[in-house]
């Protein structure tokens, strides 16, 4: 990747073309990627969280996907500062966030989350009940918590559906299910963490989509038609970065088609570097293949506008501002519809505004130190 900031305002213009996604009008293609900030003590997002999201909305971010916010299960969270999406106080907090973002003209989806069998890397805090997951392992040989019974699974699906219904009732513009990065929904997808022999397991990736599909159907039933539902997916797992759910385009289709049939509207394809081809023989990335295979709108993500990727940044590597040329080339050929920006938007709340105005030289680098404050 080139590290120069040489995109001109004219070429960046593609990022600022309006688009209609799942019946929702967006003023541009820029999405704030979901990013856990752990600034919600007791699970309740306060006025500081509302102001944080508002700052991005008022500076041209088209759609905000909130940090992961947990559904109503005793061990859905692995960090006491992660917001809940259940309970009166937390939902009142989210209503304030929503009001602030809407007042600034923004759109916002909560990212609904259950961590499954994954501990946080940054706290020793433990939920009141053991972690729960498909088979009580985060990866082969790594036991954590308990395997879910069918009753646990049904209750968890119902918890996702309640959270989505609350999102619609409060006035959110849609919801995203966190089905990526090795957390609960992804633990069902991956054979390394799903060793079940009942109907929620299976030898094929298609068979292991059942939990996600039943969750999507329940969310759709609880929210009704005309409410955008996204699912975030990744090939990689944080408990095993080389993991790949789909080895071929056909296998990828067998993973995605059941999700589409279940009623999802948008597929958010999480990669660490958006420019990496997903399969040999084509330069299409994960979001590109997903759009080609399903025809649904997709969101790309991964080191947009930055030189380094986010996992290394947790280890202390600094990422400098980088050219948007390759991103704009891919957007121009409609490889994907929306572009999620993560760390660049933490370091620069006004990232979208500066890019729109061509003020590339004013963009700040990203260093993990910026996570210390909710600026």
Ligand X SMILES: Cc1cc2nc3c(=O)[nH]c(=O)nc-3n(C[C@H](O)[C@H](O)[C@H](O)COP(=O)(O)O)c2cc1C
Binding site for ligand X (CB under 6 A): 33-36, 67-68, 111, 178, 180-181, 232, 270, 301-304, 306, 309-310, 341-344, 371
Instruction: Read off the tokens for 1.
Output: 């990747």
Question: Which residue number, 254 or 278, has a Cβ lying nearer to ligand X?
Answer: 278
Measure the CA–CA gap between 283 and 252, rounded to whole angstroms.
16
Measure the CA–CA gap between 106 and 365, rounded to whole angstroms.
25
Beta strands in 252-347 (DSSP E): 266-270, 298-301, 338-341
Question: Which residue number, 153 or 306, has a Cβ lying nearer to ligand X?
Answer: 306
Instruction: Read off the tokens for 130.
Output: 């053991």
Asked whether 111 and 176 are in contact (CB, 8 A), the reply is yes
CB of 313 vs ligand X, minimal distance in Å:
6
Give the Cβ contact number of residue 140 at 10 Å. Answer: 12
Question: Which residue number, 153 or 180, has a Cβ lying nearer to ligand X?
Answer: 180
CB of 285 vs ligand X, minimal distance in Å:
13
CB of 49 vs ligand X, minimal distance in Å:
13
CB of 204 vs ligand X, minimal distance in Å:
25
Question: Which residue number, 196 or 268, has a Cβ lying nearer to ligand X?
Answer: 268
Question: Which residue number, 136 or 349, has a Cβ lying nearer to ligand X?
Answer: 349
CB of 305 vs ligand X, minimal distance in Å:
7
Beta bridge partners of residue 233, listed in sequence order? 269
Asked whether 293 and 253 are in contact (CB, 8 A), the reply is yes
Q: Are strands 142-143 and 137-139 parallel, antiparallel or unpaired?
A: antiparallel
CB of 76 vs ligand X, minimal distance in Å:
13
Measure the CA–CA gap between 153 and 168, rounded to whole angstroms.
23
Q: Which residue is nearest to ligand X (CB)?
A: 342
Q: Is 183 a catalytic residue?
A: yes
How would you write 210-249 as a 3-class SS string? HHHHHHHHHHHHHHCCCCCEEEEEECCECCECCCCCCCCH
Length of the chain: 375
184: nearest Cα among 147, 217, 221: 147
Measure the CA–CA gap between 333 and 181, rounded to whole angstroms.
28
Question: Which residue number, 126 or 272, has a Cβ lying nearer to ligand X?
Answer: 272
Measure the CA–CA gap between 178 and 375, rounded to whole angstroms.
24
Please tell me the chain's helix, strand, coil percentages from 3-state DSSP, rounded to the nearest 5: 35, 15, 45
12: nearest Cα among 274, 366, 359, 307: 359
Question: Which residue number, 153 or 347, has a Cβ lying nearer to ligand X?
Answer: 347
Measure the CA–CA gap between 175 and 115, rounded to whole angstroms.
17
CB of 262 vs ligand X, minimal distance in Å:
20
Phi-psi region of 99 (alpha: psi -120 to 50; beta: other; left: phi over 0): alpha
Q: Please pick, among 52, 53, 183, 366, the residue that the annotation labels catalytic.
A: 183
Catalytic residues: 183
């Amino acid at each position: 990747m080139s590290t120069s900031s040489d995109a001109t305002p004219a070429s960046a213009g593609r990022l600022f073309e309006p688009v209609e996604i799942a019946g929702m009008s967006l003023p541009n293609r820029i999405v704030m990627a979901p990013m856990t900030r752990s600034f919600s003590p007791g699970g309740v997002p306060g006025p500081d969280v509302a102001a944080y999201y508002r700052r991005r909305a008022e500076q041209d971010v088209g759609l905000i996907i909130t940090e992961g916010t947990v559904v109503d299960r005793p061990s859905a969270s692995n960090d006491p500062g992660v917001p809940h999406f259940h309970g009166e106080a937390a939902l009142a907090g989210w209503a304030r966030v929503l009001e602030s973002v809407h007042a600034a003209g923004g759109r916002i989806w909560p990212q609904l989350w259950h961590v499954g069998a994954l501990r946080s890397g940054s706290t020793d805090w433990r939920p009141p009940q053991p972690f729960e997951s498909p088979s009580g392992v985060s990866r082969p040989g790594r036991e954590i918590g308990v395997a879910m019974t069918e009753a646990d699974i049904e209750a968890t699906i119902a918890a996702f559906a309640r959270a989505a219904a609350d999102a619609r009732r409060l006035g959110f513009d849609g919801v995203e299910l966190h089905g990526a990065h090795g957390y609960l929904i992804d633990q069902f997808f991956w054979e390394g963490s799903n060793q079940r022999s009942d109907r929620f397991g299976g030898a094929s990736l298609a068979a292991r989509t059942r939990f996600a599909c039943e969750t999507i159907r329940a969310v759709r039933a609880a929210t009704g038609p005309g409410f955008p539902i996204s699912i975030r997916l990744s090939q990689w797992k944080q408990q095993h970065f080389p993991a790949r759910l789909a080895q071929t385009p056909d296998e990828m289709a067998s993973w995605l088609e059941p999700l589409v049939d279940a009623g999802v509207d948008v597929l958010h394809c999480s990669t660490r570097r958006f420019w990496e081809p997903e399969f040999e023989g084509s330069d299409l990335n994960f979001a590109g293949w997903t759009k080609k295979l399903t025809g649904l709108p997709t969101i790309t993500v991964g080191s947009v506008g930055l030189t380094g990727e986010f996992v290394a940044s947790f280890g202390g590597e600094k990422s400098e501002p980088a050219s948007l040329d390759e991103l704009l080339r891919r957007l121009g050929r409609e490889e994907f519809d929306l572009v999620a920006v993560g760390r660049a938007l933490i370091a620069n709340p006004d990232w979208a505004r500066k890019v729109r105005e061509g003020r590339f030289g004013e963009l700040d680098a990203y260093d993990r130190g910026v996570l210390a404050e909710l600026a």
